[in-house]
Amino acid sequence: MTEALRSRGEPAPVVWPVGRVAAMLGIPAVTLRSWEVRYGIAPTLRSPGNHRRYSDEDVARLRRMQRLIAGGTPPAEAARLSVESPPPTQSQQASAAERVESLLAATEAFRVEDLANDLNQCLRELGVQTGWDEVLAPALRRLGERFLRDGDCTDLETLLADETARAVDRYTGHRGSTGGDRPILLACSPGERHWLPMKVLQAALLERRLPAVLLASGIPAEAVVRAVARSRPRAVVLWSLTSCANQASLRRRLTAHAPQVLAAGPGWSSRVRPLSALTEAVDELSRA
């Protein structure tokens, strides 16, 4: 089939080896093999050497299964649903720009039920990372730009941020971890109140079956240090939207209790190379 496509001048379909798919999904390759044996979620293609190869649709099916499991569906049922209920085609799905406009219209009119439904659908169809990068963050950014220009939409920013946080909780099932493994601990710098990016990061990690615990914003620095000392996390992320006097010293103190302490957000100096994008953060923490 691949050669036939090439002979017509059409691009060959993208195929993925098992190891690459496991890295993309943030799960061990042995899990993919287990799903294949137990639930029949197998790659549909083979290389000339008879090695298993996943198509884009195979990967999309695995992502659907991951999202269902993250929402509390038993693996066997998630496998069945991921095959029986494929996502809408691209022509049936709303574009990212249409989703953004729908969210903003519902927010502007305080149609909270419509807003919640739009957020639920966005996360269900796109997942956390794509949903945040292409829809949720752009919508919040639009309101931020409006605030800087007109100063009249603090209520709208708060409504959209709060409803986004609730939608993320619904999507993840309010879970704070995925088992007994050492967690990734997410915390805010002293005085930082804007913690939505950390909640989204937690959801993206849970979607990859990585244990993640989010500390509430506003807790004292000493409480953050005690939490890290007690939990002995595999990594810590310290978020800051705006710079504060004590964040650098807190980060240094946390390094005594965790093998990796990462800064995140625009409130950090570029010298510490803070994480600045959700995908970057998830990829970095997947390797922790």
The 10s digit of each residue's pLDDT in 123-140 is 988 889 999 999 999 999
**May I ask the CATH architecture of the domain 96-172?**
Orthogonal Bundle (1.10)
- Whether 263 shows a pLDDT value over 80: the answer reads yes
Where exactly are the structural domains of the chain? 2-84, 96-172, 184-286
User: Is residue 56 over pLDDT 80?
Assistant: no
Instruction: Return the DSSP state at 135.
Output: I
For the segment 272-283, the average pLDDT, to the nearest whole number, is: 91
Q: Does domain 184-286 have CATH number 3.30.420.40?
A: no
**Is residue 260 over pLDDT 50?**
yes
State residue 93's pLDDT score.
61
Question: Which one has a higher pLDDT value, 93 or 151?
Answer: 151
CATH number for the domain whose boundaries are 2-84: 1.10.1660.10
Of the pLDDT bands very low, low, confident and very high (cuts 50, 70, 90), residue 238 is: very high
Q: What is the pLDDT of residue 26?
A: 73
pLDDT at 76 over 50: yes
**For the chain, what is the largest distance between any 2 Cα atoms, rounded to a whole number of angstroms?**
66
- Residue 159 reports pLDDT greater than 70: yes
Query: What pLDDT is attached to residue 91?
Result: 43
Share of the chain above pLDDT 70, in %: 89
Beta strand 52-55 with 184-188: parallel, antiparallel or unpaired? unpaired
- Distance, CA of 46 to chain centre: 30
**How confident is the model at residue 64, as a pLDDT?**
81
pLDDT at 13 over 80: no
pLDDT exceeds cutoff 60 at 81: yes
**List of residues 6+ apart from 237 with CB closer than 8 A:** 184, 185, 186, 187, 198, 201, 262, 263, 264, 275, 281, 285
